[in-house]
Amino acid sequence: MKNIAVIGAGTMGNGIAHAFAQFGFQVALIDVSPEALAKALSTIEKNLDRQIKKEILTEEEKVDTLKRIATFKNTEQGVKNADLVIEAATENPQVKLAIFRDLDEFCEEGTILATNTSSISITKIASATRRPDKVIGMHFMNPVPIMKLVEIIRGYSTSQETCSVIMSLAERIQKTPVEVNDYPGFVSNRILMPMINEAIYTLYEGVAGVEEIDSVMKLGMAHPMGPLHLADFIGLDVCKSILEVLYQGFGNPKYAPCPLLVNMVTAGHLGAKTGRGFYEYQGKEMMVAERFRKG
Ligand SMILES: NC(=O)c1ccc[n+]([C@@H]2O[C@H](COP(=O)([O-])OP(=O)(O)OC[C@H]3O[C@@H](n4cnc5c(N)ncnc54)[C@H](O)[C@@H]3O)[C@@H](O)[C@H]2O)c1
pLDDT at position 284: 85
Residues of the chain with pLDDT under 70: none
Distance CA 227, CA 125 (A): 30
Q: How many helices (H) and strands (E) does the chain have?
A: 13, 10
Q: Is 95 in the pocket of ligand 1 (CB under 6 A)?
A: yes
- Residue of minimum CA distance from atom 21 in ligand 1: 10
pTM: 0.94
Q: Is 86 in the pocket of ligand 1 (CB under 6 A)?
A: no
Residues annotated catalytic, as ranges: 118, 139, 151, 189
pLDDT at position 283: 87
Q: Is 188 annotated as a binding residue?
A: no
Q: Is 7 in the pocket of ligand 1 (CB under 6 A)?
A: yes
The CA distances from residue 288 to 6, 23, 91, 196, 216, in Å, are: 37, 41, 29, 17, 16
Give the position, in ligand 1's atom list, of the atom nearest the Cα of 117: 41
Q: Where are the domains of the chain?
A: 3-181, 187-285
79 and 102 Cβ atoms separated by less than 8 Å: no
Ligand 1: centre distance to CA 169 (Å): 22
| CATH ID of 187-285, from 3.40.50.720, 1.10.1040.10, 3.30.200.20, 3.40.50.2020 | 1.10.1040.10
| Superfamily of domain covering 3-181 | NAD(P)-binding Rossmann-like Domain (3.40.50.720)
Q: Is 208 in the pocket of ligand 1 (CB under 6 A)?
A: no
Q: Is 142 annotated as a binding residue?
A: yes
pLDDT at position 152: 98
234 and 110 Cβ atoms separated by less than 8 Å: no
Question: Could you check whether 3-181 and 187-285 share the same CATH topology?
Answer: no
- Residue of minimum CA distance from atom 11 in ligand 1: 88
Distance CA 280, CA 287 (A): 5
Ligand 1: centre distance to CA 87 (Å): 8
Give the position, in ligand 1's atom list, of the atom nearest the Cα of 99: 31
Distance CA 31, CA 130 (A): 24
Q: Is 13 in the pocket of ligand 1 (CB under 6 A)?
A: yes
